[in-house]
């Protein structure tokens, strides 16, 4: 992958969420919050189900417009990609899913197959290139989604519970991929409800509870000495629902 | 009873003996209906997909009208095309009335709403699954049309077969705008009407059998396509 340049840390514009909230039919799903993400940190968003993790990801990525506040990039909007809990793959072969992504980002036709095969190789899918993407196993589908994201050369990568439905081997593959993205200089924003996973991957932690941002601290401090009662309860495993 | 049995035997003999009259009629029927389906699909597939993707005022009304037009009576479509193409009509100068071209136009009008309405449904459903991913990838709305049409290809094949079934089975429209002229605009359905009224039951029955076989074939193909898609694509 020598054609993929490493980006200097400072090159990715910071993402600012200012007073961002989301309401649906007079029900507040996310209370106004401020959050600033910069550098190429790996930020893990944690919290029980229904805390607003996925919503926060969609607002940050721009899939949803907030009903309150403002989401803005301080500078040009960077290249972004998102990996979903349930990968959405086209009803085509594994290879065609990747060449499609390359066509969308403007890669010349003659280079698409070569680059797509490189990505399949990198994510251990080379033998499956002709298989319809929808009949791959859950872990293979998620690796294909990661390969597709890889080809987008994102400066910021969003992952929404990418391992929630996977077995341990597949989880390991996803985590390795996240580290690869990070090594390439990609900023990561990822949700998980797996404390161990957060331990392994996070530079900093955002804790959501009941649609509110209750804590945002560096991972080391969060795990050693959480600043809020919710944080303390969460790492003791008491704040499950 | 023996009359019908006789007619049936003669009909089979006509089919197996490749009677030139019968072959000519079947060939013209296929030509007209297939042309109509191809032309209608070229318009209706992108139209249906666009209708699935764009929100605009009056969209609901357009969908309701399109769905209603699926049940457009063929004779009414035929009458409308007749008025358009007749000497005094707005398109009269082209001299299309009572030609296969006029029959194709009438059948396009019958088939287009079916393909457009069903395409709209299928593409909209598929887009429900794809929306976030495509938005995340920065795929423009116009670019989504070919993407979704291709990914819905198996379902859409069935849709086009449904359109072909409608075109090949209707009689009212082709009768009015074609005129059932022997060797020029006579197709299976209009020939069956004529031969039955003339009492030439063997030819009518022979054509009926061919038409029925064709419809069965179309349905078998639709079923096969659906099954294959389910097996291969999950």
Chains A & B: contacts with CB separation below 8 Å: 42
Q: Could you tell me if A131 and A167 are in contact, meaning their C-beta atoms sit under 8 angstroms apart?
A: no
Question: Which candidate, A145, A157, A85, places its Cα nearest to that of A119?
Answer: A145
Closest partner residue to A132 among B135, B139, B233, by Cβ? Answer: B233
Q: Could you tell me if A95 and A120 are in contact, meaning their C-beta atoms sit under 8 angstroms apart?
A: yes
Contacts of B139 in chain A (CB under 8 A): 104
Question: Which candidate, B144, B195, B163, places its Cα nearest to that of B37?
Answer: B163
Q: Say whether A63 and B129 touch across the interface (CB within 8 A).
A: no
pTM of the model: 0.89
Higher pLDDT, B202 or A96: A96
Distance from CA of A225 to the nearest CA of B (A): 36
d(CA B105, CA B175): 13
Q: So what's the ipTM on this one?
A: 0.91
Instruction: pLDDT tens for chain A, 241 residues: list them.
Output: 444 444 454 589 999 999 999 999 989 999 999 999 999 999 999 998 889 999 999 999 999 999 999 999 999 999 999 999 999 999 999 999 999 999 999 999 999 999 999 999 999 999 999 999 999 999 999 999 999 999 999 999 999 999 998 999 999 999 999 999 999 999 999 999 889 999 999 999 999 999 999 999 999 999 999 989 989 988 888 765 4
Q: Say whether A135 and B232 touch across the interface (CB within 8 A).
A: yes
d(CA A101, CA A153): 11
d(CA A215, CA A138): 32
Q: Is A41 at the interface with chain B, CB within 8 A?
A: no
Q: Could you tell me if A56 and A208 are in contact, meaning their C-beta atoms sit under 8 angstroms apart?
A: yes
Q: Say whether A152 and B143 touch across the interface (CB within 8 A).
A: no
d(CA A205, CA B206): 77
Distance from CA of B64 to the nearest CA of A (A): 28
Closest partner residue to A132 among B136, B147, B234, by Cβ? Answer: B234
Q: Say whether B137 and A101 touch across the interface (CB within 8 A).
A: yes
d(CA A44, CA A83): 14
The two three-digit tokens of residue A100, written as one number? 């499609």
Tens of pLDDT, residues B148-188: 999 999 899 989 999 999 999 999 999 999 999 999 999 99
Of the CA atoms within 13 Å of residue A225, those in its CB half-sphere come to 1
d(CA B121, CA B44): 12
The terminus-to-terminus CA distance of chain A in angstroms comes to: 42
Q: Say whether A132 and B151 touch across the interface (CB within 8 A).
A: no
Q: Say whether B151 and A58 touch across the interface (CB within 8 A).
A: no
Burial of A241 per CB tally in 10 Å (0-12, 13-18, 19+): exposed
Question: Which candidate, B121, B139, B149, B126, places its Cα nearest to that of A63?
Answer: B139
For an interface test with A, the pick among B122, B133, B148, B230 (most A C-beta atoms closer than 10 Å) comes out as B133
């Amino acid at each position: 992958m020598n054609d993929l340049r490493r980006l200097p840390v400072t090159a990715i514009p910071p993402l600012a969420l200012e007073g961002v909230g989301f309401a649906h039919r007079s029900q507040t799903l996310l209370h106004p919050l401020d959050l600033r993400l910069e550098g190429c940190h790996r930020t893990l968003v944690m919290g029980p189900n229904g805390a607003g993790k996925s919503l926060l990801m969609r607002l940050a990525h721009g899939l949803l417009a907030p009903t309150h506040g403002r989401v803005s990039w301080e500078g040009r909007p960077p290249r972004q990609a998102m990996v979903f809990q349930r990968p959405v793959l086209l009803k085509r072969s594994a290879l065609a899913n990747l060449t499609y992504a390359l066509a969308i980002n403007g890669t010349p036709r003659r280079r698409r197959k070569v680059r797509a095969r490189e990505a399949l190789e990198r994510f251990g899918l080379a033998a499956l290139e002709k298989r319809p993407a929808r009949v791959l196993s859950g872990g293979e589908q998620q690796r294909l989604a990661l390969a597709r994201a890889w080809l987008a050369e994102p400066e910021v990568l969003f992952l929404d519970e990418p391992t929630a439905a996977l077995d341990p081997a597949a989880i390991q593959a996803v985590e390795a991929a996240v580290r690869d993205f990070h090594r390439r200089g990609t900023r990561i924003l990822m949700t998980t409800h797996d404390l161990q996973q957060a331990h392994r991957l996070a530079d900093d932690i955002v804790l959501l509870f009941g649609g509110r941002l209750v804590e945002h601290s560096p991972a080391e401090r969060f795990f050693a000495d959480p600043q809020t009662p919710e944080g303390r309860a969460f790492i003791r495993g008491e704040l499950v629902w | 009873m023996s009359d019908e049995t006789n007619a049936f035997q003669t009909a089979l003999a006509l089919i197996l003996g490749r009677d030139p009259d019968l072959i000519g009629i079947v060939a013209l029927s296929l030509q007209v209906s297939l042309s109509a389906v191809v032309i209608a699909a070229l318009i209706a597939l992108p139209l249906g997909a666009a209708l699935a993707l764009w929100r605009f005022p009056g969209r609901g009304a357009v969908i309701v009208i399109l769905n209603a037009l699926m049940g457009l009576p063929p004779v009414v479509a035929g009458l409308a095309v007749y008025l358009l193409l007749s000497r005094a009509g707005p398109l009269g100068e082209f001299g299309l009335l009572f030609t296969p071209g006029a029959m194709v136009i009438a059948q396009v009008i019958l088939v287009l709403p079916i393909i457009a309405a069903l395409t709209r449904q299928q593409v909209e459903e598929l887009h429900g699954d794809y929306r976030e991913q495509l938005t995340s990838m920065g795929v423009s709305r116009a670019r989504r049309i070919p993407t979704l049409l291709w990914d819905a290809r198996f379902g859409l094949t069935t849709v086009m077969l449904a359109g072909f079934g409608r075109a090949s089975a209707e009689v009212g429209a082709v009768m009015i705008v074609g005129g059932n002229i022997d060797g020029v605009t006579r197709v299976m359905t209009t020939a069956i009407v004529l031969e039955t009224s003339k009492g030439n039951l063997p030819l009518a029955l022979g054509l009926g059998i061919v038409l029925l076989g064709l419809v069965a074939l179309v349905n078998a193909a639709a079923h096969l396509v659906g099954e294959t898609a389910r097996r291969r694509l999950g």
